[in-house]
Structure 1
Amino acid sequence: MPDDIPAGFQVISRSSPYIDMVGPLYYKLTDEGLQVAFRAEEKHCNSRGFVHGGMLSTAADIALGYGAGDFPNGNRAMVTTSITIDFAGSAQLGDWVVFKTDVQKVGRMAAFANTYAHVGEKRIVRASGIFSVLDGRS
């Protein structure tokens, strides 16, 4: 693990071809819930050097879904039904971006969660997601 990754964060090993492409992503479990983070690399940035909104949206979706799915302890299969995201700031090349997730409810058919992205103490994104809980059928 690179030396510039804050203590307590581990690489997300449950991956997919898409997550491999945008990663590495990291996680940490806290008393407040799951945190998902990444170090902003050139591949995450737009031509102005800011982290692209698509990358922030991707990381928010992962943080929301993994949080509601009880990652890394659980393996509840879910798919994103809806995600709403608001950008209140920005991240730049080299920034450590952390998504702090708050799960509202996980039911038999749906799960609801919120996440907030921070660079240091500055909140830059808020997102909420609704997930359909899969019961083994496609």
Structure 2
Amino acid sequence: MTGANGVPEGFVPLPTSAFVEHLGGLYHAPEAPEHTFGMRVGPEHANVRGRAHGGFLATAVDVATSRGARAAMGDGSGVSTVTMTMDYLAPVDVGEWIQLVTTVDRVGGRTVFATCRVTAGDRLVARGSVVLARIRPRA
């Protein structure tokens, strides 16, 4: 079910950077079993064909994997993207809600490996594989 602001029930705004707020904000589903995030695709995210731009989807995956990794580590470590590979599997129309589910595959001393599945409705539309540098808090 969708709330009055067009955001599905169970999702709450996630405080994030000014850049992500400029993109339309990121939402988090705190009760979901995995690190689940979401965004609404707006006209400002569209390519010339009127569908979600690949760069927008890559940005959403980058932010979701970073936030998911930080939450999974839970020790105050930060992360910085080292590499990211994207697979674009299906188009996403303006107005659709994308859901991003991040799985942290491995946390090492210096790197974190994560994957992200992007869905729109019941369709898998993209997936990303991300390697992040782990930035430990100073003692």
Is TM more than 0.5 here? yes
Which blocks of at least 5 consecutive residues in structure 1 are unaligned?
none
Matching residue of 1:78: 79
Matching residue of 1:125: 126
SS at match of 2:71: coil
1:104·1:114 contact (CA, 8 Å) conserved in 2?
yes
Matching residue of 2:13: 11
2:11·2:29 contact (CA, 8 Å) conserved in 1?
yes
SS at match of 1:70: helix
Query: Moved runs in structure 1, 4+ residues, more than 6 A?
Result: none
How many residues in Structure 1 have an aligned counterpart in Structure 2?
Answer: 134
SS at match of 1:129: strand
User: In the aligned structure 1, how far is the partner of 2:122 from the partner of 2:18?
Assistant: 31
Which one-letter code corresponds to 1:26 in the other structure? Y
Cα distance, 1:136 vs structure 2: 4.8
Which one-letter code corresponds to 1:38 in the other structure? M
1:46·1:52 contact (CA, 8 Å) conserved in 2?
yes
Cα distance, 1:35 vs structure 2: 1.1
Matching residue of 2:97: 96
Cα distance, 1:37 vs structure 2: 0.9
SS at match of 1:113: strand
User: In the aligned structure 2, how far is the partner of 1:135 from the partner of 1:74?
Assistant: 8
Further displaced range: 120-129 or 18-27: 18-27
User: In the aligned structure 1, how far is the partner of 2:75 from the partner of 2:110?
Assistant: 16
Cα distance, 1:4 vs structure 2: 1.7
Cα distance, 1:135 vs structure 2: 2.9
User: In the aligned structure 2, how far is the partner of 1:38 from the partner of 1:2?
Assistant: 15
Identity rate, percent: 28
Which one-letter code corresponds to 2:77 in the other structure? R
User: In the aligned structure 2, how far is the partner of 1:28 from the partner of 1:91?
Assistant: 21
Which blocks of at least 5 consecutive residues in structure 2 are unaligned?
none
